[in-house]
Amino acid sequence: MHRWSQLFIPTLREAPADAEVASHKFLVRAGFIRQLATGIYSYLFLGQRSFNKIIGIVREEMDKIGQEFYLPALHPRELWESSGRWSVMGDTMFRLKDRKGADLCLGMTEEEVMTEIARKELRSYKQLPQIWYQIQSKFRDEARPKSGLLRVRQFLMKDSYSFDIDAAGLDVSYQKHHDAYCRIFDRCGLKYVVVEAHSGAMGGSQSHEFMVRTAAGEDQVVSCEKCNYAANMDKATSKLVPVEDLAATGDGNPLEVHTPGQKTIEDVARFLGVSPKNKIKTLALMVDEKDSKTGKVVPRPVVVLLRGDHQLNEAKLSSAVGGKETRPMQAEEIERLFWSPAGFLGPIGIEWARDVRQVERPILLVDNALEGRTNLISGANKEDYHLKNVTPGRDFQPTAYADLRSVTAGESCPNCSAPLRIDTAVEIGHIFKLGYKYSESMGARVLDRNGKEVTPIMGSYGIGIERILTAAIEQSNDENGFWLPPPIAPFEIVVTPTNVGDEKVKSVAEDIAQQLDAAGFEVLLDDRDERPGVKFKDADLVGIPYRVTVGKKVTEGTVEVVRRSTREMHDASIGAITGYFQQVLRPAR
RNA sequence: CGGGGCGUAGCGCAGCCUGGUAGCGCACCUGCCUUGGGCGCAGGGGGUCGUAGGUUCAAAUCCUAUCGCCCCGACCA
């Protein structure tokens, strides 16, 4: 049993001025955390208790599917060079030198370290599958840490890695993680959604994110009101309402129209009296490609066509160009390709690559929404002119059609056609089929059944420990503070004697706390010599789900039980308290 | 990295424009009082005004540089 008067729980009446989101304000006000520097926080007593409980749950569930390791956070440069990520990670990686001048870095994830162990130690298919995990600090020099513990430079992560002999084995390891994550987040009392996620640049075959919907989040999830469809913004698709095409004019072939000074989609649509949906949006971008012979990096034009009212999704575009990054073309680059200033660009009159490998020609990517459309309006590649009657496939040949746009709220679900909603969310977990990227580049090999060398296939899986707590707070707070689900709360019950000067009140509170403690509950006795108002305010603030108030009614043998989330309050006889909490906190399963 | 803002007591802020005694609320300490929602009265402690340089008889205040922190954007295996 813990006594408040002996503890360091520095609660604050006011939130620090720079705190914006609820979890940040309350974590500081409730004395869970204190900031040391931008994106770097100390965890005080209550915070650490909460994290320890979260870690306990993660560990219990992970032990059912894998084995816990503890890996170094300090890594040699050579290790990250062996996977090629020393240069890829850029400024986000913390780097330092040792006394000999050797380069080191602080770990952002641990694929390299795990794969290094696998490479050295795994020899035979008989040793597979393996699932190895750890819970450890990760370091990322984020461009912009923010929102308290939501986006920080040092944080705790449960990261695990699976090694399987083949894709079917990976499917099993992946599913085990999926199920373990569901059990973990359920036990933590979170409401979450599992969404299909963008697999990233490396062509990983499958990826899911575990998201908690909250306004404080930085990610966007698209989900269906009716069925269980849910996806990350970078992955989501929708069914579109068909658009009525314009009638052909003149002989039906592309026809120049004078559109002086009409540069934006809206301008042109208004000027010509058509909907933006009948207009082609032409985006001029560049992608850096490596020349296969010289190895030199050469910029290559990538032109993207979208329906006029649609928005480009950069992650989808990146996937479409093989995981590379794109940038907008500069004015000279636009002139060189289109012979026209921006505002009047279009696909007609340029020789586009037949497929991506035809490197001497520019790439033309056309969004699926334009496939099969006819008589669209595009720029004419001539200042102050646009073209009517533009029909994809007839008037120009795309290098490829692809899904390139972001869905918007209200569009139809791809499965059941019900309206889609878009919410901001916090990512609390991510499971990812890595494939062969690390095992291949770092040279991990095992012998299969036939004595043939094969490369094990990997998965990697992460859980943000701090984000579980912040998401829980974002989900459950009011103007007075927050309440946590009992499994992750720093204490389950706070016993609040209203007046420790009253011997009867004091001793009953003491007895109740002792009893609850003896029965195995996590109890905090607020034995401070403070006025009741102060204690109630603090009790409401710090996230403890239940309060037992011991006050005047002790003379009648009665105390009050208050449930923080609902403010529900009822009198209970002193002798019945332990039984009551047995029922609500330890129900038989 | 681009744009904006802020650094004055533990927290929240005023003072700066117009240079001259460093202030307020909360918190903290002592005493009394009070005891069901941050109570009251009295007394008290605590600040190199982020740092460095400059202007001036005199700088929290004006100028320059620098560091830190926050917000928006870019970025985010």
**ipTM, two decimals:** 0.92
Domain that holds residue A68: 48-214+426-473
Shortest CA–C1' contact from A111: which nucleotide?
B77
Do residues A337 and A438 share a domain? Answer: no
> What pTM, to 2 d.p., does this model score?
0.92
- The answer to whether the beta carbon of residue A355 comes closer than 7 angstroms to any atom of strand B is no
Assess contact for A196 and A228: CB atoms under 8 A: no
In a domain, A23, yes or no: no
pLDDT attached to residue A200: 56
Residue A203 has pLDDT above 80, yes or no: no
pLDDT attached to residue A555: 95
Q: How far apart are CA A57 and CA A486, in angstroms?
A: 12
Nearest to A219 by CA among A397, A7, A464: A464
Do residues A557 and A502 share a domain? Answer: yes
Nearest to A121 by CA among A132, A136, A133: A132
Tell me the per-residue pLDDT of A232-264, one tens digit each, with 9 for 90 and over. Answer: 998 899 999 999 999 999 899 999 999 998 888
Assess contact for A342 and A334: CB atoms under 8 A: yes
Residue A578 has pLDDT above 80, yes or no: yes
Tell me what the mean pLDDT of segment A114-121 comes to: 96
Do residues A194 and A278 share a domain? Answer: no
- The two counts, helices (H) then strands (E), for chain A are 14, 33
Cβ neighbour number for residue A69 with a 10 Å cutoff: 17
Mean pLDDT of chain A: 92
Output DSSP code: residue A242. Answer: P
- The answer to whether the beta carbon of residue A568 comes closer than 7 angstroms to any atom of strand B is no
- The amino acid occupying position A41 is Y
pLDDT attached to residue A89: 85
Q: How far apart are CA A309 and CA A377, in angstroms?
A: 13
- Between CA A101 and C1' B7 the distance (Å) reads 36
- The answer to whether the beta carbon of residue A39 comes closer than 7 angstroms to any atom of strand B is yes
Write the CATH number for A467.
3.30.930.10
Do residues A64 and A189 share a domain? Answer: yes
Tell me the per-residue pLDDT of A391-441, one tens digit each, with 9 for 90 and over. Answer: 999 999 999 999 999 999 999 999 999 999 999 999 999 999 999 989 999
Q: How far apart are CA A244 and CA A125, in angstroms?
A: 58
Do residues A289 and A148 share a domain? Answer: no
- The answer to whether the beta carbon of residue A11 comes closer than 7 angstroms to any atom of strand B is yes
Nearest to A482 by CA among A156, A214, A219: A214
In a domain, A531, yes or no: yes
Q: How far apart are CA A369 and CA A403, in angstroms?
A: 8
Residue A201 has pLDDT above 60, yes or no: no
Q: Residue at minimal CA–C1' distance from B37?
A: A533
Tell me the per-residue pLDDT of A497-526, one tens digit each, with 9 for 90 and over. Answer: 999 999 999 999 999 999 999 999 999 999
Tell me what the mean pLDDT of segment A448-471 comes to: 96
Per the structure, the count of domains in chain A is 3
